[in-house]
Amino acid sequence: MHRPLEDYALIGDQQTAALVSRAGSVDWLCLPRFDSAACFASLVGGHDNGHWRLAPKGAGDCTRRSYRPGTLILDTEWDTDEGSVRVTDLMPQRDRAPDLVRVVQGLRGRVTMRGTLRLRFDYGSIVPWMRRADGHRVAVAGPDSMWLRSEPPVRTWGKDFATHSEFTVEEGETVAFVLTWHPSHEPRPDLIDPLESLRSSEQAWQEWSARCRYQGPHRDAVLRSLLTLKALTFEPTGGIVAAPTTSLPEELGGVRNWDYRYCWLRDSTLTLGALASAGYLDEAEAWRRWLLRAVAGDPADLQIMYGLSGERRLPETELPWLAGYARSTPVRAGNDAVHQLQLDVYGEVIDSLALARRAGMPSEPHAWRLQLALIEFLRTAWREPDQGLWEVRGPRRHFVHSKVMAWVAADRIVTALEEDAGLAGDLDAMRQLRDDIHRDVLARGFDAERNTFTQFYGSTELDASLLLIPRVGFLPPDDPRVVGTVEAICDELCENGLVRRYSAEATGVDGLPGREGTFLVCSFWLADALHLTGRTKEARELFEQLVATGNDVGLLAEEYDPVSRRMLGNFPQAFSHIGLVGTAYTLFGTG
C-alpha cells in the first residue's frame, strides 16, 4: 500500500529534494541532483527499494507537522504515552556535498526512538556494501558513497540489509543525524555541524521570504508556493524542474506516468511572471539566463524541455524492478516527449523575453537576435500540425492553443518593434504574420454553432488551454467567443468545480488508455478567465477551493481527484504553484 501523496512534505537544497511522510520516513531522494538515480525509491516501489524512517518506537503517523515560517525546514512531532518528541528535517545549502540532516529533540517525558535506514542506489536496484569507518556507517556501491553519523553517537546495527538504531531522548535533549553523499572515488567531504546548519538555514530561508512583495489575501499560500518554486530551482544554472519526482500516476493503476525532473519551456512565461511580480528578480533573471542558454542554436531544433543545465538528450527508459506508486507502471526515467514538435514553445519563449523587458530586467544583447531567428522559423512552421501543449502521444494535429501561441510570438515581436525603433526587424512582415495566424484560428478553430473554440481544427472537443486566449491578448475578455468558450469549459470539462485538461477517455486524442484527474493549473486558469469575463465572485470562490486542495503543509500536486479527494501526478508540481501565485495577483493585485 502506498501513502496518499498529500502525506508528503518537501525538503531540499536547491540542487535536489526529498519527500518526507507523516510517518517520519524519507521515501524519495535523488543524489546528487534532481535528475540523478534515487537512493530512496520506496515512493514508486516498496520499502526494500530504499527509505529512512525515524520516529518513536512503535508509533504510527505524527501528531502534527509544519514548516517553520518562511522556510523549507520541516518539524514533525509525536505525542506518545512516554512523552513528546520532534524530528526536524532539512537539506542545508551545500558547500560541496549534499547533506540530509535529521534532528531529534525531546519535548516532554522520555521517548524511545527507532531508526531504520535502508539505502538502495540506482532507483532501489543496488544494495550497497556497508562498513564502519572513523566511527561512522559508510555505504558504497559503484560510483556512490554515503556516510551516516550522529551527534552524540548512538548505537547502530545491521539487519535485513538495513541499518537500525534505537535511543532515548528526554526533554531538552537533542540527537542529530547527518547523511552525506559523495562520489565513491573521492575522499569523504568535510563534516558539517548539524545544529549550526539548522540555524543558518532557517535564517537564510527567512531572509529570502522577507523579500516577498505580495501582501494580499492567502499570503501564506502564495509564499509557500514561491518557496516551493525556489526549492525546485537548480541553483547552479537557474533552471526550474517541473517536479522533483518521476512516474507518480495521473490515474491510479494506469500508465500515464512520466518523469518531470526536467525544465519545460512551457512554464517559462508564467514562471518569470510569478517570480518578478513577487519581487524575486534575481531568480527570474537566473531563469531567463538558463532559458537563453538552453534554446541557443538552430530554431528548428528547439525542444520543449531540457535538462537542468540545458542538456538535450533525455532518453526514456523503464525501471521494471519497481512496482510503481499504487501499482502504476511503468516507472520511467527520462522523457521521450523531448523529441516532440510543440509549436507553442516558440510563443512562450518570445513572450518570456517580452515579459523580462517589461519587468525592467537588464537587456541581453543576443536575446533579440534569438527572437528574430525563432520568428523566422515560425513564419512557415506555424501552419504545421504538432503534438500540442499536453504532449499527446497520438497523431499530430492543428491544436488551437499552438496556433494562438504562434500568434503571441508574432504579436510580441510587433510590439517590440513598435516600441523600440532601434531594433532590427521587418515590422510590416510581422504584422502580416500576426494577422494571418489570427484569421486562420478564427476561421478554423472556432465552432460557431456551439460558440466555442475547439481543441484542434475540425474537432468538436474542448481543451482547457483555450482559457488562455484572453490572458495572452488574442481576443478581449468580453468578446462573445471568449465568453462562450469559458461557459462551454465550465459545462463540459469541470468536475466538482475543477477543470480537466480535455476529455481523454472520450476522444483518445493523446493515444493512451484510461483517464486522469482534474488539472490544477487549468483550474487556476479558469479562475483567471472567470475574473476577466466579469465573474469575479465565482473566480474567488474557485481560488478558495483550489487553495484548499493543498495538503496540510501547503503543497500542490499536478492533478486532483475531487471525488476521492486524492492528489495525482508528480508532486509537488511547479506549474500548479505558479498558477496559484499568478491567480492571486490576478484576483487581488499586490495587496
Q: Phi, psi (5° rounding) for residue 205?
A: -65, -45
pLDDT band at residue 393 using 50, 70 and 90 as cut-offs: confident
Q: How far is CA 231 from CA 26, 186, 238, 414, in A?
A: 17, 27, 11, 36
Render pLDDT for 87-114 as a digit per residue (tens, 0 to 9): 999 999 998 899 999 999 999 999 999 9
Give pLDDT tens digits for 225-284. Answer: 999 999 999 999 999 999 999 999 998 888 889 999 999 988 877 888 899 899 999 999
SS3 category, 326: helix
198 falls within a domain:
yes
Which of 55-64, 182-191, 437-446 bottoms out in mean pLDDT, i.e. has the lowest? 182-191
Buried b or exposed e, range 208-247, using 16+ CB within 10 angstroms: bbeebebeebbeebbbbbbbbbbbbbbeebbbbbbbbbbb
Residues 197 and 299 in one domain: no
- Phi/psi for 541 (5° steps) reads -65, -40
Q: Is the predicted pLDDT of residue 525 greater than 80, yes or no?
A: yes
Q: State whether 356 and 379 are in the same domain.
A: yes
What are the grid coordinates assigned to 5, written together? 501523496
* Residue 435, C-alpha cell as written in the block: 494577422
Among the three residues 150, 185, 204, which one is the final residue of a domain in this structure? Answer: 204
* % of the chain residues with pLDDT over 90: 79
Residue range 452-457: mean pLDDT, rounded? 96
Q: Is residue 295 part of a domain?
A: yes
Residues pairing with 317 in the sheet: 333
Spatial distance between the Cα atoms of 59 and 80, rounded to a whole number of angstroms: 8
Q: What pLDDT band is residue 453 in, cutting at 50, 70 and 90?
A: very high
Residue 329 covered by a domain: yes
Q: According to the model, what pLDDT value does residue 509 have?
A: 65
Question: What does the pLDDT average to over 342-347?
Answer: 92
Q: Is the pLDDT of residue 476 over 90?
A: yes
Return d(Cα 530, Cα 512) in angstroms, integer.
31
Instruction: Report the DSSP pairing between strands 162-170 and 83-90.
Output: unpaired
What mean pLDDT do residues 493-515 have?
75
Judged against a pLDDT cut of 90, whether residue 364 lies above it is answered with no
> 489 and 518: one domain?
yes
Integer-rounded Cα Rg, in Å, for the chain is: 25
Reported confidence tier of residue 510, pLDDT bands at 50, 70, 90: low
Q: What is the mean pLDDT of residues 323-351?
A: 93
3-state secondary structure of 519: strand
Residues paired with 99 in a beta bridge = 180
Q: Which amino acid is at 75?
A: D
Using N-to-C axis directions, what is the helix angle for 268-277 and 344-358, rounded to 10°? 20
CATH code: domain of residue 132: 2.70.98.40
Tens digits of per-residue pLDDT, 536-576?
999 999 999 999 999 999 999 999 998 888 999 999 999 99
Between 363 and 409, residue with greater pLDDT: 409
**pLDDT digits over 412-447, tens only?**
999 999 998 888 999 999 999 999 999 999 999 999
| Residue 405, beta-bridge partner list | none
Residue 156 in domain:
yes
Where in the sequence is the domain holding 355, given as residue range(s)? 215-588
One domain, residues 527 and 391: yes
61 and 195 both lie in a single domain:
yes
Query: Is residue 163 assigned to a domain?
Result: yes
DSSP state of 565: T
Please count the structural domains in the chain. Answer: 2
Residue 87, CA distances (Å) to 83, 84, 113 in order: 14, 10, 10
Cite the beta strand spans of 427-488 per DSSP E. 446-447, 452-453
Last residue of a domain, one of 161, 181, 204: 204
CB neighbour list of residue 414: distance below 8 Å, 6 or more residues apart: 427, 430, 431, 434
pLDDT at res. 337: 86
- 3-class secondary-structure state, position 518: strand
pLDDT for 177 equals 97
Cα(542)–Cα(474) distance, integer angstroms: 24
Assess if residue 90 is contained within a domain.
yes
Judgement on whether residues 268 and 382 belong to the same structural domain of the protein: yes
Q: Is the peptide bond before 152 cis (omega within 30 degrees of 0)?
A: yes
Instruction: Give me the CATH number covering residue 221.
Output: 1.50.10.10
Residues 101, 224 within the same domain: no
Residue 271's H or E segment, with its range, is: helix 268-277
pLDDT band at 54 (very low <50, low <70, confident <90, very high): very high
Question: Rounded to whole angstroms, how far apart are CA atoms 502 and 133?
Answer: 56
**Residue-averaged pLDDT of the chain:** 93
Q: Which of 97-101, 158-162, 345-349 has the highest mean pLDDT?
A: 97-101
Same-domain check for residues 258 and 182 = no
- Assess whether 452 and 475 both reside in one domain: yes
Q: Are 93 and 201 in contact (CB under 8 A)?
A: yes
Banded model confidence at residue 506, pLDDT cuts 50, 70, 90 = low
As a whole number of angstroms, the distance between CA 509 and CA 504 comes to 6
- Dist. CA 581–CA 214, nearest whole Å: 9
Domain end: 151, 179, 204, which one? Answer: 204
φ, ψ dihedrals at 385, nearest 5°: -75, 160
Q: Does 591 have pLDDT greater than 50?
A: no
Beta strands in 142-295 (DSSP E): 144-151, 156-159, 162-170, 174-183, 233-234, 239-240, 263-264
Length, in residues, of the chain: 591
What is the percent of the chain with per-residue pLDDT over 70, rounded to a whole number? Answer: 97
pLDDT at 511: 61
- 269 and 164 assigned to the same domain: no
- Domain shared by 362 and 297, yes or no: yes
Return the residue matching grid coordinates 486522469: 516
Q: Is 210 domain-assigned?
A: no
Does 514 have pLDDT greater than 70? no
Residue 61 is assigned to a structural domain of this protein: yes
Q: Is the pLDDT of residue 505 over 70?
A: no
As a whole number, mean pLDDT of residues 56-80 equals: 97
Asked if residue 250 and residue 108 are part of one domain, the reply reads: no
